[in-house]
Amino acid sequence: MALQKWEIFQDEARDFLNNYFNASFSMEGGFDATTSHITVRNIHQVITNIEAKFGSTQAGQIVLLNEGGKFSFCDKSKNDSNSYTKEIIKYLNSNYSSFEGINTANIHVDIEQNTLFNWVKTIYEDKNVEWIISSHKFNNLTQNDLLFVPINEIENYFDISIVFRRKKTGNTQIPGKDIIDFKSELDLISKDYKIKKMNNKYLLTTKSRLSNFDIGNKYLVSMTNVDCQYYIKKKDINTNPNIMFQLNLKDNIEFKGELFKDNYNL
């Protein structure tokens, strides 16, 4: 299966950094566009992390509960709540009638940009991410194509916006953290299988064809073009309202490689 543009960008950005700096850069941040970051090591010691973002991209999400005539933070969110999360939810509740009946349409939320940028900075800080690398191009990258700056400067290089929506029901590629639980469900059906990660997806190979694609209540598999081989997916029945953060890269990009070298003695 062909890689998506953001996946190609992440790999090429990592390779560019490995060629430019005297350190080791590896993609270890996760399995989707919202979590992937590059880990930087000097010999065997982790020195920092870099968020890799291709062009206009999602920068985070807050999942909400809607109970008792107000919104509140839901622990299904990938990031912990912080003071800026509370500020955003307070705004939604003060305008509750404008958001309560939304089904799937996106509605722009008009909140001060400093609050939004500070929310993004805080979640990156929680992940020990101190830098961001981004570009409008996804392949054949040169230094002139790349934005490479500290996270605390993102407001100078990105526009930011958020929308309120109710997430549509759908299925997603299984995250790595759920593989052990998936195996426990699959073991009830068959123990003769292999699981391999490929291109940020998990592939299941079985000795014989599966008669049922549902694996327990939370997972399912879908066919590939190879017999007895399947993509592993997680059923998504989340219809909670949520807030989506969007970063849009401006044109004034800079590559602050010398600052990076100075900060980490490279």
| pLDDT tens figures, 101-135 | 766 678 899 999 999 999 999 999 998 999 999 99
For residues 82 and 122, the answer to whether their CB atoms sit within 8 Å is yes
pLDDT band at 29 (very low <50, low <70, confident <90, very high): low
Those residues whose C-beta lies under 8 Å from the C-beta of residue 265, and which sit 6 or more positions away, are none
Report how far apart, in Å, the C-alpha atoms of 117 and of each of 46, 84, 111, 113, 137 are: 26, 9, 11, 6, 23
Q: What is residue 206's predicted lDDT score, i.e. its pLDDT?
A: 93
For residues 92 and 162, the answer to whether their CB atoms sit within 8 Å is no
Q: What is residue 167's predicted lDDT score, i.e. its pLDDT?
A: 63
Q: What is residue 235's predicted lDDT score, i.e. its pLDDT?
A: 79
Sign of the Cα torsion 172, 176, 181, 187 reads positive
Q: DSSP character for 209? A: -
For residues 242 and 136, the answer to whether their CB atoms sit within 8 Å is no
Q: What is residue 212's predicted lDDT score, i.e. its pLDDT?
A: 86
Bin 47: left if φ > 0, else alpha if -120 < ψ < 50, else beta: alpha
Tokens standing for residue 214? 């549902």
Question: pLDDT higher for 55 or 194?
Answer: 194
| pLDDT tens figures, 170-221 | 577 888 888 999 999 999 998 899 999 887 789 999 998 888 888 988 898 9
d(CA 76, CA 41): 31
- Residue indicated by tokens 């998506």: 4
Report how far apart, in Å, the C-alpha atoms of 9 and of each of 36, 39, 134, 164 are: 11, 16, 9, 28
Q: DSSP character for 201? A: E
d(CA 5, CA 211): 34
d(CA 197, CA 193): 14
Tokens standing for residue 145? 């194509």
Q: What is residue 154's predicted lDDT score, i.e. its pLDDT?
A: 96
pLDDT band at 238 (very low <50, low <70, confident <90, very high): low
d(CA 206, CA 30): 26
| pLDDT tens figures, 79-90 | 899 999 999 999
Report the alpha-carbon angle 153-154-160, nearest 5.
Answer: 150
d(CA 15, CA 20): 9
pTM above 0.85, yes or no: no
Amino acid, single-letter form, for residue 101? G
| pLDDT tens figures, 134-174 | 999 999 999 999 999 999 999 999 999 999 987 654 577 88
